[in-house]
């Protein structure tokens, strides 16, 4: 139940500012508001390239694109990531760790 609620919170609609181009363009701009909608998200510069990571998937040694680092900054990619089984497992394990701290 907690997992479902957390995923529903993450699915909230987030509109990227200045998104007027109708062509499918790779987003590379960083918006700090993403952290509020996706608390697992991290951005790093690797070899001069901005990449997004899922810190929770990294913690469980997942093999998905956000555990390895992705250059896709599109909302669709973020929303798709939260629906994969590895991320759901990572969310569950993260909640278990948080629960043991309190």
Total residues belonging to the chain = 102
- Note the pLDDT of residue 12: 42
DSSP string, 16-67: PTT----S--------TTHHHH-TTEEEEEETTEEEEEEHHHHHTT--SHHH
Task: Write the pLDDT tens digit of every residue in 4-60.
Answer: 544 444 544 333 333 444 445 555 567 778 888 899 999 999 999 999 999 999 999
Q: At what angle do helices 85-101 and 2-10 cross, to 10 degrees?
A: 110
Q: Is the pTM of this model over 0.75?
A: no
**Is the separation of the CB atoms in 96 and 28 below 8 Å?**
no
Task: Write the pLDDT tens digit of every residue in 73-96.
Answer: 899 999 999 999 999 999 998 887
- Note the pLDDT of residue 2: 58
> Where in the chain are the domains?
39-102
């Amino acid at each position: 139940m907690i997992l479902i609620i957390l995923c529903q919170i993450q699915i909230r609609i987030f509109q990227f500012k200045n998104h007027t181009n109708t062509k499918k363009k790779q987003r590379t701009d960083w918006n700090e508001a993403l952290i509020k909608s996706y608390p697992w998200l991290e951005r790093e510069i690797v070899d001069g390239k901005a990449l997004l990571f899922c810190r929770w998937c990294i913690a469980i040694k997942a093999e998905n694109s956000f555990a390895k680092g992705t250059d896709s900054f599109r909302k669709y990619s973020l929303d798709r990531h939260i629906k994969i089984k590895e991320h759901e497992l990572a969310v569950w394990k993260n909640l278990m760790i948080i629960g043991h701290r309190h």
